[in-house]
Amino acid sequence: MARWIWKFGEFEIYHNLLLHNRRTQYGWPSPPVWKVYSPDSCVRFTREISGRGGTIRVWARGEFAVTVWQGRRKTEYGGQHEIPLGDGPMRLSVTVSNRESFPCLYVEGGVESDESWLADDLAGSPAPADSCAWFDAPDKAPDVFPFACEPIRYVKKEPVEGGVLFDFGRETFARTHFRFSGVGDYALRFGESREEAMSAQWCVIRREVKGAAGADYDAQAFRYIFSSDAAAEVSAEYEYLPVTYRGAFRCDEAVINDVWDVAAYTFHLNSREFFLDGIKRDRWVWSGDAYQSLFVNRYLFFDRDIERRTLIALAGKPPFEAHINGIVDYTFYWMIGLYEYYETYGDLDLLRRLFPQARRIMAFCRGRVDPDGFVRGRERDWVFIDWAPMDRTGALCGEQVLFSRALQSYGNICALLGEDSEGAAAQADALQKAVLASFWDAEKGAFVDSYESGKRFVSRHSNILACLFLPMDEARRQSLYEHAILNDDVPQITTPYFKFYENLVHCEMGSGEGLEASIREYYGAMLKLGATTLYEQFDPTQSGAEHYAMYGHPFEKSLCHAWSCSPIYLLGRYRAGVKRTGVAYETFEVAPKLGDLKSFDCTVPLPKGQVRVRMDEGGVTVCATAPGGALLLGGSRYELEPGKEISVPSR
């Protein structure tokens, strides 16, 4: 079965390049702020043929030249479409050159293009070509990303300030087509909120139409559109990644169901070529944000391919000279995420393909360690962790914790591939010990952000990361939980980004009873104010358009942000209680918990099937369609048989 093939990584590099060049703000293009790589302009595809070659038909994106080697005899076919190859053995070589998109190839006939072909850039070593099931016909080439599309209509049209305001009822990401009253100059403003669309000064996404009677735009984010032409008409098509909703959740509480639905929609909007941060302004791929999306995806779409694409795009190309997104912690999340990706899907092939770059990335990180073994931000490094006050003096606790976990992940990857990790596991171990020795404040019973400043500042962030990623004894873990996480004197988390990790800690530390309350109070309040997707950040004490301000501007907050979608993960993981225990879910456990709910009915995807968990005060019913599962309930363990429902009444 022939497929379009390309040099591994180039599909992602190309679409990542397009994506990062699409951002605009206030009517101006807004170029990337980190290095975005370009595809190679020329790739050579080769295939050894032992038997009959037959006749082949060749398609490529770009110019191509076909050469056949029979021993040292070389026959050149140039860019001929149909070629009678004759009998093997022979080596078929097709060089494709393409500066517009990226070199890719489709061959059908006696020999077909697939991952048995090798590809190289005429300098590095040939490696298996990559492909994707989507691109399986000459006219389905990978330089056009195959989004799905469906017409949507505005629900309200309102004459206002001499123009007209369209309201599409909820946030969307859609292609738009405008017809105006005649040829003229018009202003269009796309707002996530009504206020934004009405703000001539601060609306982030806007277009100027010059001397035209109509205009068509690629998909962008909006709920409202203001047109300065009062007689304008607009049609739109929602553009989305075709993906199956494999997870589901319903419980007895409407607001939690609503949050789940809105989270699912928000997450879908942000799941495109890759996992985006938000759909309005950046629409970029941020590694720390994407890391959280991995969690959500596994309880909603279980779409391996988008995780794979995202990890490849973030890895970039050699030389690796700056942290991913310029952020120290984001490089670490990438490495941690790559190993967890393997654990989730058992995809050793991707580890193998990405290993050369993973090695470069780890060498870069290890090359920036200070003599005491700690990483500190160097020139042009962004030490982020979160939008929150922290004592960032010198070595920051959270960075060491993430670095040690990244080292451990890298060590695990090397072990799987039989590669030399150059002592990554030992370095991780030493670093973990050093963190305990340097950052633990016995008096405060928690980790401090910095041991160098002498300020002994305790943040939730350092302690949350330590709790999640740092091995330690239970007494210490309980201590930090009490003194840092349950301690109201420690400043609260304000972003859903770290709220997720905090909730994880609460759930893991056995006191996840506040999960529903947290969802209700934070996301429920957001929905009550009319949110149709989940915001980047939310402060219930604000009112009106205050909610839309961020980064020093009135409408720069993203009202549709991926990092806010964690309830999908948290409910599936800690209410349905589904947890992968073996690689690729060879084994998994179901340990359901009602929490603050009266009943729920939750479906969690598995690689080849799903597990449905229903629970109410009367008991639990579980059914998995794939093997390997066990129900853990009240101290008992029940093996799950595929397709067979198990019901356990409450005691």
Q: How far is the CB of 114 from a copy of itself (least distance, A)?
A: 22
Among 12, 58, 95, 467, binds a copy of itself (CB under 8 A): 95
Residue closer to a copy of itself by CB (options 17, 468) is: 17
Is residue 319 reached through a cis peptide bond, with omega within 30 degrees of 0 on the bond before it? yes
Among 82, 84, 89, 99, binds a copy of itself (CB under 8 A): 99
Q: How far is the CB of 405 from a copy of itself (least distance, A)?
A: 24
Q: How far is the CB of 103 from a copy of itself (least distance, A)?
A: 9
> What span, in angstroms and rounded, lies between the C-alpha atoms of 561 and 289?
9
Residue closer to a copy of itself by CB (options 319, 510) is: 319
Among 1, 71, 72, 122, binds a copy of itself (CB under 8 A): 122
Among 214, 318, 530, 540, binds a copy of itself (CB under 8 A): 318
Residue closer to a copy of itself by CB (options 21, 492) is: 21
Residue closer to a copy of itself by CB (options 80, 599) is: 80
Neighbours of 402 (CB within 10 A): 26
Q: Which residues are 348's β-sheet partners? A: none
Tell which positions 326-355 bind a copy of itself, by CB under 8 A. Answer: 326
Query: Which residue is associated with the tokens 């994880």?
Result: 504
Instruction: Taking the CA atoms of 37, 41, 42 and 47 in sequence, report the sign of the dihedral they define.
Output: positive
> What span, in angstroms and rounded, lies between the C-alpha atoms of 513 and 258?
19
Under the phi-then-psi rule, with left for phi > 0, alpha for psi from -120 to 50, and beta for the rest, what region is 68? beta
Q: How far is the CB of 128 from a copy of itself (least distance, A)?
A: 17
> What span, in angstroms and rounded, lies between the C-alpha atoms of 125 and 134?
27
> What span, in angstroms and rounded, lies between the C-alpha atoms of 264 and 454?
44
Report how far apart, in Å, the C-alpha atoms of 397 and of each of 27, 263, 383, 450, 506 are: 41, 31, 11, 6, 20
Q: How far is the CB of 94 from a copy of itself (least distance, A)?
A: 10
Report how far apart, in Å, the C-alpha atoms of 75 and of each of 45, 72, 362, 507 are: 16, 10, 44, 66
| Burial letters 579-592, b for 16+ CB under 10 A, else e | bbeeebbeebbbbb
Alpha helices in 223-347 (DSSP H): 254-270, 287-297, 304-315, 328-345
Residue closer to a copy of itself by CB (options 37, 267) is: 37
Is residue 540 reached through a cis peptide bond, with omega within 30 degrees of 0 on the bond before it? no
Among 51, 84, 124, 169, binds a copy of itself (CB under 8 A): 124
Residue closer to a copy of itself by CB (options 23, 308) is: 23
Residue closer to a copy of itself by CB (options 256, 328) is: 328
Residue closer to a copy of itself by CB (options 22, 520) is: 22
By the 8 A CB rule, do 332 and 424 touch?
Answer: no
By CB under 8 A, how many residues form the interface with a copy of itself?
38
Report how far apart, in Å, the C-alpha atoms of 531 and of each of 10, 28, 176, 527 are: 38, 27, 22, 5
DSSP state of 382: B
Q: How far is the CB of 425 from a copy of itself (least distance, A)?
A: 27
DSSP state of 369: B
Q: Which residues are 402's β-sheet partners? A: none
Q: What is the 3-state secondary structure (H, E, C) of 550-566?
A: ECCECCCCCCCEHHHCH
By the 8 A CB rule, do 9 and 312 touch?
Answer: yes
Q: How far is the CB of 206 from a copy of itself (least distance, A)?
A: 11
Q: How far is the CB of 351 from a copy of itself (least distance, A)?
A: 21
Q: How far is the CB of 420 from a copy of itself (least distance, A)?
A: 17
By the 8 A CB rule, do 35 and 331 touch?
Answer: no
Report how far apart, in Å, the C-alpha atoms of 299 and of each of 437, 565, 612 are: 37, 11, 12
Which pair of tokens denotes residue 615?
Answer: 């629970």
> What span, in angstroms and rounded, lies between the C-alpha atoms of 235 and 250?
34
Residue closer to a copy of itself by CB (options 35, 170) is: 35
DSSP-based three-state secondary structure for 302: coil
Tell which positions 466-495 bind a copy of itself, by CB under 8 A. Answer: none
Q: How far is the CB of 348 from a copy of itself (least distance, A)?
A: 25
Q: How far is the CB of 47 from a copy of itself (least distance, A)?
A: 17
Residue closer to a copy of itself by CB (options 209, 620) is: 209
By the 8 A CB rule, do 580 and 217 touch?
Answer: no
Residue closer to a copy of itself by CB (options 324, 485) is: 324
Among 162, 211, 242, 319, binds a copy of itself (CB under 8 A): 319
Q: Residue 56, Cα to own-chain centre: how many angstroms?
A: 39
Residue closer to a copy of itself by CB (options 10, 196) is: 10
Query: Which residue is associated with the tokens 């989940």?
Result: 534
Q: How far is the CB of 488 from a copy of itself (least distance, A)?
A: 32
Among 50, 71, 72, 123, binds a copy of itself (CB under 8 A): 123
Q: How far is the CB of 386 from a copy of itself (least distance, A)?
A: 20
> What span, in angstroms and rounded, lies between the C-alpha atoms of 298 and 285?
18
Among 121, 143, 253, 282, binds a copy of itself (CB under 8 A): 121
Q: Residue 211, Cα to own-chain centre: how many angstroms?
A: 40
Report how far apart, in Å, the C-alpha atoms of 165 and of each of 66, 225, 560 are: 56, 6, 20
Tell which positions 52-91 bind a copy of itself, by CB under 8 A. Answer: 63-65, 78-80
Residue closer to a copy of itself by CB (options 79, 389) is: 79
Residue closer to a copy of itself by CB (options 60, 526) is: 60
Residue closer to a copy of itself by CB (options 352, 553) is: 553
Q: How far is the CB of 96 from a copy of itself (least distance, A)?
A: 7
Q: Which stretch binds a copy of itself (CB under 8 A): 314-322, 473-481, 562-570, 642-650?
A: 314-322
What does the per-residue mask of binding to a copy of itself show for 13-52, with x meaning CB under 8 A? ----x---x---xxxxxxxxxxxx-xxxxx----------
Binding of a copy of itself by 632 (CB under 8 A)? no
| Contact residues: a copy of itself, CB under 8 A | 17, 21, 25-36, 38-42, 63-65, 78-80, 95-97, 99, 121-124, 318-319, 321-322, 326
